C-alpha cells in the first residue's frame, strides 16, 4: 500500500466503525470543556467525568470559580491528580478570562495558550471540540497509533501532530482525532493489545510494531 492508500484505509475504516463519535469529556460550553481538559492531564476521562459535576455544581463559569479559594478547588479535584498545579491554573485562568476576555473562552490559539496550565494540546482540544475550528490534538493513543500504522516516526507528539495534519484532510481533523482515540482505546491499546482485533494495524501496520507484538506473544 502507498501512504495515500493507507490514509484512505484509516479514514474509511474509522468512519465505518464510528460514524458518530462522542466527545469523551462531559461539558456544556467552552469553559467547562477547558476545565475538563485541564483536569484530564495524567488522569482518565472516566475519573474527570466523575469529578467535574462536583466542581461545576459550585462553579461552572469563571465568575463563580473565582469566588472559591484555590484550596477549595484543590480539595474537589484532588482525585484527578496534580491538584496543586491544576487548582492554581483553574483559579488564575478564570481571573484572566474575566479581566481580559469578558469572561469568555477565547477562540484562538494565541490567547488560549497564554492561559495558565493551558498547553498546545489543551488549546487544540478546545479549538476543535468547543469551536469546531480545525485542529488535531495528539494524545497518547494517537501518538501510539500513528507510529504503529507507519504514518509517523513516533519520536515526539509535535512531530506526530505535523504528520497527521500533513496526511489527513483538514476538514476531517476534528472528527478523525476523536475516532482514532476511541479506536486506540478499544482495539489498539498500549497494554493487552490483541492484533487479531486490530484491523487497521493488521492491514497497514509498521512491520517493527507487529514483529514486536509477535515477539511478546511468544514470551
* Integer angstrom CA distances of residue 118 from 1, 29, 84, 185: 39, 17, 15, 24
**Share in percent of the chain as helix, strand, coil (round to 5):** 65, 0, 35
Separation of CA 129 from chain center: 10
Task: Reduce the DSSP state of residue 38 to 3 states and report it.
Answer: helix
Q: Is 201 exposed, middle or buried (0-12, 13-18, 19+ CB in 10 A)?
A: buried
Place of cell 504514518: 151
User: What's the residue count for the chain?
Assistant: 219
**What residues are labeled active site?**
121, 139
> Is the CB of residue 41 less than 8 Å from the CB of residue 87?
no
Amino acid at each position: 500500500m502507498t501512504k495515500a492508500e493507507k490514509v484512505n484505509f484509516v479514514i474509511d475504516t474509522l468512519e465505518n466503525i464510528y460514524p458518530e463519535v462522542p466527545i469523551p469529556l462531559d461539558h456544556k460550553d467552552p469553559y467547562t470543556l477547558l476545565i475538563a481538559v485541564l483536569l484530564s492531564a495524567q488522569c482518565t476521562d472516566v475519573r474527570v467525568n466523575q469529578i467535574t459535576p462536583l466542581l461545576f455544581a459550585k462553579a461552572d463559569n469563571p465568575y463563580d470559580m473565582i469566588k472559591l479559594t484555590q484550596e477549595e478547588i484543590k480539595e474537589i479535584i484532588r482525585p484527578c491528580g496534580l491538584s496543586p498545579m491544576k487548582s492554581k491554573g483553574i483559579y488564575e485562568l478564570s481571573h484572566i478570562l474575566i479581566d481580559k476576555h469578558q469572561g469568555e473562552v477565547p477562540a484562538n490559539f494565541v490567547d488560549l495558550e497564554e492561559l495558565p496550565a493551558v498547553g498546545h494540546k489543551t488549546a487544540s482540544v478546545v479549538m476543535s471540540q468547543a469551536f469546531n475550528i480545525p485542529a488535531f490534538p495528539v494524545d497518547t493513543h494517537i501518538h501510539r497509533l500513528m507510529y504503529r500504522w507507519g504514518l509517523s516516526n513516533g519520536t515526539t507528539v509535535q512531530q506526530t501532530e505535523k504528520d497527521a495534519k500533513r496526511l489527513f484532510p483538514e476538514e476531517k481533523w476534528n472528527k478523525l482525532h476523536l475516532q482514532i482515540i476511541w479506536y486506540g482505546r478499544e482495539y489498539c491499546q498500549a497494554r493487552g493489545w490483541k492484533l487479531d482485533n486490530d484491523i487497521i494495524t493488521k492491514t497497514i501496520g509498521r512491520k517493527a510494531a507487529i514483529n514486536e507484538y509477535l515477539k511478546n506473544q511468544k514470551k
